[in-house]
Amino acid sequence: MSNDDLREGRIRAAIAGHIGDESLARTSLSSDDPPSRCLALGALQRMDSLSSSELSAALNDPSASVRRRALEITAGRSDVNARCCLTDADPSVAEAAAFAVGEQMDVAGVRPLIEMAERHDDALCRESAVAALGALVSSIDVDGEAILGCLLGAMNDKAQIRRRAVLGLFQFDDPRAQKAMEEALGDTDRQVRSIAADLLSVG
């Protein structure tokens, strides 16, 4: 496929959503070109015509960029869950999956999110998992004790992860969370200190 063919295919995929051409969008969805498939997903979603089966298939696409785009869409839907991508081999996909699970308030994702927050090699994945756990704290159906333990452990991680953990810890009415928040006032990272101070109304 020539560069001109690729360019034209991407243009057609992008236009499909704006002119309401489902047939054209679905043709692009089966393209050999990953960017065209990404555009087709967006086009079908724009037309409110992206089926659950199509979205689920996109979560298993061979291209990481397509899986990420599918997760962006999945985050705003309830008919397909993003949990299956939490263990994706591509860290950028796993990170997007953690965000989507948090947006979906998928309580069944708590355990795999804790696993990601505690063990994933990629710091961005750990950060996204901690943020998602913070979002899930408010659900009455989650294991709050497990989330609390994970967030307390995250206070020993990198600064950007500690920032996320502080936001989650603030939601707990627990002396362990309170203690960690107070200790965060002396954190080596200025932003961690600032967030803790704002939440605790200090200074």
Confidence of residue 12 (pLDDT cuts 50, 70, 90): confident
pLDDT of residue 72: 98
Domain ranges of the chain: 1-80, 81-203
Question: Do the beta carbons of residue 72 and residue 82 sit within 8 Å?
Answer: no
Distance from C-alpha of 3 to C-alpha of 14, rounded to nearest angstrom = 17
CB neighbourhood size of 138 (10 A) = 10
Rounded Cα distance between 44 and 70, Å, is: 11
81-203: CATH, from 3.30.470.20, 1.25.10.10, 2.40.50.140, 1.20.120.1200: 1.25.10.10
Query: Could you give the CA distance from residue 192 to residue 111 in angstroms, rounded to a whole number?
Result: 26
- The more confident residue out of 19 and 123 is 123
Percent of the chain at pLDDT above 70?
97
Helix (H) or strand (E) holding 89: none
Using one digit for the tens of pLDDT, what is the confidence trace for 21-39? 899 899 999 999 999 999 9
| pLDDT score at 31 | 93
The pLDDT tens digits of the residues spanning 62-71 come to 999 999 999 9
| Residue among 77, 119, 76 nearest 94 (CA) | 119
Which residues neighbour 200 within 8 Å (Cβ) at sequence distance 6 or greater?
181, 182, 185
pLDDT tens digits, 144-197: 999 999 999 999 999 999 999 999 999 999 999 999 999 999 999 999 999 999
pLDDT level of residue 139 (50, 70, 90 thresholds): confident
pTM over 0.85? The answer is yes
Average confidence (pLDDT) over 98-104 = 97
pLDDT band at 61 (very low <50, low <70, confident <90, very high): very high
